[in-house]
Structure 1
Amino acid sequence: MARLRDSLAARVTATFVLVAALAAAGLGTWLYLSFVAEIERRDDIALLGKLRQIQLLLGRPGAPALLRTQPDLFRDTMSGQENSLVRFVGADGTVLADINAAGERYPVPPAAASPAPDRAAIASWTSRRGDPGRVVAGTARLGSGTGTGRGASTVTVIVARVYADRTAMFAEYRRRIAGAAAIAALVAALCGAWMLHRGLRPLRVLAEHAALVRPGTLDRRIAAAGAPSELQPLIGALNAMLARLQEGYARLSGFSADLAHEFRTPVANLLGQSQVMLAQPRSAAEYESLVASNIEELERLARMIESMLFLARAEQDEVAPASRPLQALDELSKVAGFFEGMAEERGLRLACAGGGEVLADPALLRRALANLLSNAVRHADAGSTIHLRAEADGGSTALSVENTGTPIGPEHLPYLFERFYRADAARNHAGGSTGLGLSIVRAIMALHGGSAAVHTDAARTRFTLHFPAVATPAPGSQRPDTARQ
């Protein structure tokens, strides 16, 4: 029972049956009421016609004698005379004749002012058996006189009729309408169930395809050909979701393999050095050297773990940049001052130029610039100059770090910002690199709504950070945090 209650097909079928039953019942009721009204109208017209016929008979010569000797002749002029009642009342209120064998009691409506009353003059009543009846009264001239001679007088004619046959007919008609509504509901239920079963087939196909989704089947897509137009957006969304899942799973698999490889090297170094050192007695200086080497490897592991945590939080939108307007040249100068000593050791010069403003989190911006400048110092030719530039263009601002050195092969450019990706061995000789610096740069730019790009030629390599335009301040406002000192 609960399964049927939770079934969409069952609920839609029940609703369809209810609507069909209500529509059939409503149509049948309307037809029944129209039929009843038409029958009643015709019976009323017939009743008025019989009154008029009696009025004409009463005006013929010899009518007074017939009324005294054979009053049933006036009733016999009406069809269905067994259900007809006729009463003749004189001008002084005396009942001249009363044709009422069953002794029915019915109201006597007032006689119409004109000899030919309309339907409004007809009154309703109910017989002793509960059957409906109608009664109408009218005046007539008895005899052939003009009303001024002795042979003519005015009488009131009351004509009533009991419609027992009409009651039975209406009851039979109601039974047929109820039966037709029930049959229509049954047919609607069968047709609705069949149509829903066919109409929901595309959904069953989607469910079957979803049940087959596995890590190894993410490349399969749902065929949109032949599907109803209402399901096309859903199929497109599901296929896009499968594509994202496939891409994410591939990246996760590659990341897991890279992570295992990156962790394996420092752990193997730690184990190997420690095992060799413990294989035989060593001096205190040798133990100190081992501890220093282990600390170096552990620091590298700590940096790698911290970088991975940052990337994971950034991808889950758990890092909310505290962005504010910053002078781009100031930020470049601050980062260059931090790396000045490292650059001097390699005989490098740092040159900052340009201008503009960026809307960024100061800490995250400096971290991104530090990663780029660290790579530039590490790979620049000795004695060359590293250029840090800020360029404003159409409201947006681009920060770039450019160095002269061994170029990056074009086959590596699409993958430089991926995790743990390193180019050729010539750019991978530094032991302090974790392979996550450029991934962090891309994540930071994504948090700011910007992008990171790389360009290289035969002699130079340039990394560029593109920041979107800063909103224009209201007239007369001032930014004390970005004012030049």
Structure 2
Amino acid sequence: MQLMKRMSLTFRLTMLFACASTAVLLALGLLVGRLVERHFEELDMEVLKGKMELARDALRIARSPADLDMFSQHLDDALTGHAPISLAIRRADGRHVVAVGHAEFPDAMLRPATANSMAGAVWTNSEGKTFRGISGLAQVQIKDWSPAVIGVAIDMSPHEHFMASFQRAFWSVVVLAAIINGLLGWGAVRRELAPVRTIRQRASEITASHLDQRLDVESVPPELVELVQTLNAMLGRLEESFQRLSDFSSDLAHELRTPVSNMLTQTQVILSRVRSADEYREILYSNAEEFERLSRMMSDMLFLAKADHGLVSPFKEEVDIAAEVRDLFSFFEVVAEGRDIRLAITGEGNVTGDRALLRRAISNVVSNAIRHTRESGMVRASIKVPPEKNELVLCIENTGDPIPPEHIPRLFDRFYRADSSRQGSSEGAGLGLAIARSILALHRGTVNVHCADGLTCFEMHLPCRAPALRSLEAKLA
């Protein structure tokens, strides 16, 4: 098996084609050989039956032993010019009357009791020649002779020579045909696999800097269309992933450079001359804030990396989503009142999940909504549990400027901000929505955003049990 795996596809298909064609030729040759042998057997039996009737007619007209002397001469004349035929006639008492040829009939063929059952018998004489013969009873008008046994045999040597020549020619043709079929199969396989080699060559030209190239679907046979389409789809995903990785690396470098540059500049300025203790204390407080920002960013990045690789295992507990939203609104109430933003919540619903992680995801979305709501605006949370779906839908709506459509597909990417003026601000690193999406994915949920009628709505979908099932469980408890 391992040897077959190491062999090339061209070699394996060539061998398969050659073996299949050889097997067909062998089966055909065996069939033809069997038919030829049966044809010879039918011809022999026809000749033997004719000679048997001839011998019976000759014995039927014999009236005395003297007539038998003329029978031998008559028999020699009848067999002249025919295939080598042997004939024997034995009386009922076991004595031979006539014996022509070298067949050396088996004793059982010339016994009256078994004569008629030996039709088509084949045997070999002392000289190594093979004979086929028949035997039968014949009525004789001579007294004390009836019944006589007649045995007729034909030498099969000509047939054997023919079959030997046929087999030599047949095997020669089979070997030659196997070689020719192998060469033709190799050429056909090489020709039909040319599109695969073209795909390999085109694929080898695609590098990380040329992921925009695609394989030509029109130039391949129908059997390879799905393969090429799959490869093109894979290249598309790789191109998108490389682009996101490149953007992420650039954004990460930019986000880290800003606080590091701030701390380096401040430190260089403070060290340019002797400062007072208060000035040193002030710069240390400023650096501490930057370190806290870096620490939060590293913690968020570590969480996202673990979530992406399935290393975060959320707890399973009953979570009251409405209670969590109310607690978060109480926490953000001071900020909202400072900007005259009204907070409202409607609906109830429970899910099974990790309370701390779900609270963090909802907090990130609520914080983002409050930050982008105009003064004297409103942030409203509505909880719905559609009866036809076993899921809870939490919608966080806020009034404010709508998000441009071109930003919506990337809104949950890391370090991405729809408002470019906020780049480098201290409000966040652009990881909040990305973390929210990862937390919902851990709970087999989703999050999306849409804008309509002056409202921006973030919808979080979480799987939950049907209300009827929860009620039944409560009654049983």
TM range (shorter): 0.7 to 0.9
Q: Give me the whole-angstrom Cα distance separating, in 1, the residues matched to 2:200 and 2:249.
A: 31
Q: Decide which moves more: 21-30 or 443-452.
A: 443-452
1:290 to 256, 277, 283: 283
Deviations 1:432-452 (A, max 9, x none): 411111222223333334333
Deviations 1:66-103 (A, max 9, x none): 52366253244225668333223233333223334x58
What residue number does 1:194 align with?
187
Going from structure 1 to structure 2, the CA distance change for 1:253 and 1:141 (only over 3 Å counts) comes to: same
Confirm whether residue 366 of structure 1 aligns to residue 359 of structure 2.
yes
Going from structure 1 to structure 2, the CA distance change for 1:248 and 1:411 (only over 3 Å counts) comes to: closer
Q: Decide which moves more: 56-65 or 212-221.
A: 56-65
Mapped contact 1:408–1:423 kept (Cα < 8 A): yes
Alignment of 1:460-479 (within 5 A): 461-468=456-463, 470-471=465-466, 473=469, 476-478=472-474
Q: Decide which moves more: 410-419 or 267-276.
A: 410-419
Going from structure 1 to structure 2, the CA distance change for 1:326 and 1:65 (only over 3 Å counts) comes to: same
Alignment of 1:51-62 (within 5 A): 51-60=52-61
What residue number does 1:107 align with?
107
What residue number does 2:90 align with?
89
Alignment of 1:105-254 (within 5 A): 106-110=106-110, 121-142=119-140, 145=141, 154-254=147-247
CA RMSD of aligned residues (A): 3.3
2:304 to 307, 311, 327: 311
Kindly state the Cα deviation for residue 124 of structure 1 after the two structures are TM-superposed.
2.2
Q: Give me the whole-angstrom Cα distance separating, in 2, the residues matched to 1:311 and 1:444.
A: 9
1:260 to 230, 233, 253: 253
1:433 to 411, 428, 431: 428
What residue number does 1:71 align with?
72
Going from structure 1 to structure 2, the CA distance change for 1:153 and 1:366 (only over 3 Å counts) comes to: closer
Kindly state the Cα deviation for residue 458 of structure 1 after the two structures are TM-superposed.
8.2
Q: Give me the whole-angstrom Cα distance separating, in 1, the residues matched to 2:406 and 2:54.
A: 113
Mapped contact 2:116–2:135 kept (Cα < 8 A): no
Going from structure 1 to structure 2, the CA distance change for 1:118 and 1:338 (only over 3 Å counts) comes to: farther
Q: Give me the whole-angstrom Cα distance separating, in 2, the residues matched to 1:327 and 1:362.
A: 9
Going from structure 1 to structure 2, the CA distance change for 1:412 and 1:91 (only over 3 Å counts) comes to: closer
Q: Give me the whole-angstrom Cα distance separating, in 1, the residues matched to 2:475 and 2:289.
A: 44
Give 1:109's aligned amino acid.
M
What residue number does 1:33 align with?
34
Going from structure 1 to structure 2, the CA distance change for 1:224 and 1:410 (only over 3 Å counts) comes to: closer
Going from structure 1 to structure 2, the CA distance change for 1:74 and 1:306 (only over 3 Å counts) comes to: same
Mapped contact 1:336–1:350 kept (Cα < 8 A): yes
Kindly state the Cα deviation for residue 339 of structure 1 after the two structures are TM-superposed.
2.9
| Secondary structure of 2:385's aligned partner | strand
Going from structure 1 to structure 2, the CA distance change for 1:294 and 1:350 (only over 3 Å counts) comes to: same
Mapped contact 2:60–2:139 kept (Cα < 8 A): yes
Deviations 1:281-304 (A, max 9, x none): 112221111111111111111111
Q: Give me the whole-angstrom Cα distance separating, in 2, the residues matched to 1:90 and 1:401.
A: 121
Give 1:22's aligned amino acid.
A
Going from structure 1 to structure 2, the CA distance change for 1:458 and 1:82 (only over 3 Å counts) comes to: closer
Alignment of 1:34-49 (within 5 A): 34-49=35-50
Q: Which consecutive unaligned segments of at least 5 residues does structure 2 have?
A: none
Q: Give me the whole-angstrom Cα distance separating, in 2, the residues matched to 1:475 and 1:352.
A: 24
Mapped contact 1:75–1:84 kept (Cα < 8 A): no
Normalised TM-score (structure 2): 0.87
Mapped contact 1:9–1:193 kept (Cα < 8 A): yes
Q: Give me the whole-angstrom Cα distance separating, in 2, the residues matched to 1:298 and 1:479.
A: 53
What residue number does 1:454 align with?
449
Alignment of 1:15-34 (within 5 A): 15-34=16-35
Going from structure 1 to structure 2, the CA distance change for 1:468 and 1:154 (only over 3 Å counts) comes to: closer
Going from structure 1 to structure 2, the CA distance change for 1:209 and 1:434 (only over 3 Å counts) comes to: same
| Secondary structure of 2:154's aligned partner | strand
Kindly state the Cα deviation for residue 151 of structure 1 after the two structures are TM-superposed.
11
Give 1:292's aligned amino acid.
Y
Q: Give me the whole-angstrom Cα distance separating, in 2, the residues matched to 1:79 and 1:119.
A: 28
Q: Which consecutive unaligned segments of at least 5 residues does structure 1 have?
A: none
| Secondary structure of 2:179's aligned partner | helix
Going from structure 1 to structure 2, the CA distance change for 1:458 and 1:127 (only over 3 Å counts) comes to: closer
Give 1:476's aligned amino acid.
L
| Secondary structure of 1:121's aligned partner | coil
Q: Give me the whole-angstrom Cα distance separating, in 2, the residues matched to 1:413 and 1:82.
A: 100
Give 2:226's aligned amino acid.
P
Kindly state the Cα deviation for residue 120 of structure 1 after the two structures are TM-superposed.
5.2
Going from structure 1 to structure 2, the CA distance change for 1:361 and 1:64 (only over 3 Å counts) comes to: same
The number of aligned residues is: 472
Q: Give me the whole-angstrom Cα distance separating, in 2, the residues matched to 1:450 and 1:406.
A: 27
What residue number does 1:421 align with?
416
What residue number does 1:335 align with?
328
Going from structure 1 to structure 2, the CA distance change for 1:133 and 1:369 (only over 3 Å counts) comes to: same
Give 2:138's aligned amino acid.
A
Mapped contact 1:379–1:405 kept (Cα < 8 A): yes
Going from structure 1 to structure 2, the CA distance change for 1:3 and 1:36 (only over 3 Å counts) comes to: closer
Q: Give me the whole-angstrom Cα distance separating, in 2, the residues matched to 1:151 and 1:460.
A: 131
Normalised TM-score (structure 1): 0.86
Going from structure 1 to structure 2, the CA distance change for 1:430 and 1:78 (only over 3 Å counts) comes to: same
Kindly state the Cα deviation for residue 479 of structure 1 after the two structures are TM-superposed.
9.7
Give 2:96's aligned amino acid.
V
| Secondary structure of 1:130's aligned partner | coil
